[in-house]
Structure 1
Amino acid sequence: MGGLLALSRGIDRMNTLIGRSVSWLILVAVFVSAVNAVIRKVFSISSNAWLELQWYLYGAAFLLAAAYTLLENEHIRIDILYGYWKRRTQHWIDLIGHVFFLMPFCLVSIWLIWPWLMRSYRGGEMSMNAGGLILWPAKALLLAGFVLLFIQGISEIIKKIAVMRGIIPDPHPDTGHHVPPAIDEEMRLATGFAEDDARGETRK
């Protein structure tokens, strides 16, 4: 298990470096957008290349930082009841989700994107907009995003098993949910959690 944990730490360091680095692309995208707007208003000059560069930069930040988001446990959870389960139950949910949903989804996406990217690269596919950019780099970003997410999924599975076996401490012991306080209380009342808490306090 020691070798697998070393692999996991290496993956985490790589995706942390990439995630923190590409976050600056949002600032670059904002700068490009502002300069493009000023030039368009002042000099009545515009270019589709500049417009497309903005979504290239934003797409790069979003796709390449997806793995880092998973590492930091900041991805959006659909199940708002997740935060009410015991931590061990949450570990099982995460592990099953990673193994049976995240990993297959990433593999299928990589398998489908690769020939699509190769056709675009070999054909020198360009944007349909006049003066637009070449398209294969954007498709390459999509492939890179799923590859990084798949690799991070391997790291998360390793860590999850190690945590459940008591080998390493839980890196996210206070994992909860993203429900606002008002909705949170309504959910607790609706699901009976508030009543259970009250009975627990009475027993004390």
Structure 2
Amino acid sequence: MKLLRRIEYINVLIGKAVSFLIWIGIVVLCWEVVARYVFGAPTIWAHGYTQRIFGAYFVMVGAYTLIRRNHVRVDLLLGTASPRFNAFLDLVNCAFLIVWGVVLVWEGFWLFEDAWRFNELDDSVLRHPMWPIKLSLFLGALLITVQGVIEAVRSLVLIVNPDADIGPADAQGSEIL
């Protein structure tokens, strides 16, 4: 379990670091609004950069969001059943997450590899390379898939022993180590 907690801790650190991308995206958007409406001189780069910033943010923060239990859930059955049944439902959810994640990691790697190998450029005027955003897709999918495996192991332990204390101390992801 110590290894799983260390991996989870790394996911927390990456999630917190990546969360600052939102501020960079806000600055770029504000700059575009001011340039367009105050100075009458819209930029040619702001739209593409904000797409990349928010796209990278969205996929890279997924594992951290899973740790904090902030993904959208429909808890129709979870609040009414035993802890073992709740752990079983979480295990089923994790199984779907892992299957989805493995496919996305596989495809994301090949998308990144092709973009890198063929120097794929976007279709904007600036012709930026596409490999950085495709790398973030691969890494984000890898992080959330690994976190899904950790959650599945946690669910299996809770099915066997519903009183086990195996999760983070709180849903904020603190005190993981």
CA contact (8 A) 2:88 2:156 kept: no
With the length of structure 2 as denominator, give the TM-score of the two structures.
Answer: 0.84
Instruction: String of CA shifts for 1:16-43, please: whole Å, max 9, x gaps.
Output: 1111111111111111110122122333
CA contact (8 A) 2:91 2:155 kept: yes
Specify the alignment match of 1:201 in structure 2. none
Matching of residues 68-107 of structure 1 within 5 Å: 68-78=64-74, 80-99=76-95, 101-107=96-102
CA contact (8 A) 1:56 1:138 kept: yes
- Take 1:23 and 1:61, find their aligned partners in 2: how far apart are those partners? 7
Q: Pick the structure with more helix per residue.
A: 1
Gap regions ≥5 residues in structure 2: 172-177
Specify the alignment match of 1:131 in structure 2. 126
- Take 1:49 and 1:88, find their aligned partners in 2: how far apart are those partners? 52
Instruction: String of CA shifts for 1:135-177, please: whole Å, max 9, x gaps.
Output: 12111111111100111112112222233333732648xx9xx
Aligned residue pair count: 170
Specify the alignment match of 2:151 in structure 1. 156
- Take 1:141 and 1:55, find their aligned partners in 2: how far apart are those partners? 13
Matching of residues 1-204 of structure 1 within 5 Å: 5-78=1-74, 80-99=76-95, 101-166=96-161, 168-169=164-165, 171=167
Moved more, 41-50 or 63-72: 41-50
- Take 2:48 and 2:81, find their aligned partners in 1: how far apart are those partners? 44
The residue identity in structure 2 corresponding to 1:52 is G
Instruction: Provide runs of 4+ in structure 1 moved above 6 Å.
Output: none
Alpha-carbon offset, residue 65 of structure 1: 0.9
With the length of structure 1 as denominator, give the TM-score of the two structures.
Answer: 0.74
Gap regions ≥5 residues in structure 1: 176-204
CA RMSD, 1 decimal: 2.4
C-alpha distance 75-47 of structure 1, shift in aligned 2 (>3 A): same
The residue identity in structure 1 corresponding to 2:126 is G
CA contact (8 A) 1:49 1:133 kept: no
The residue identity in structure 2 corresponding to 1:158 is V
Percent identity over the alignment is 27
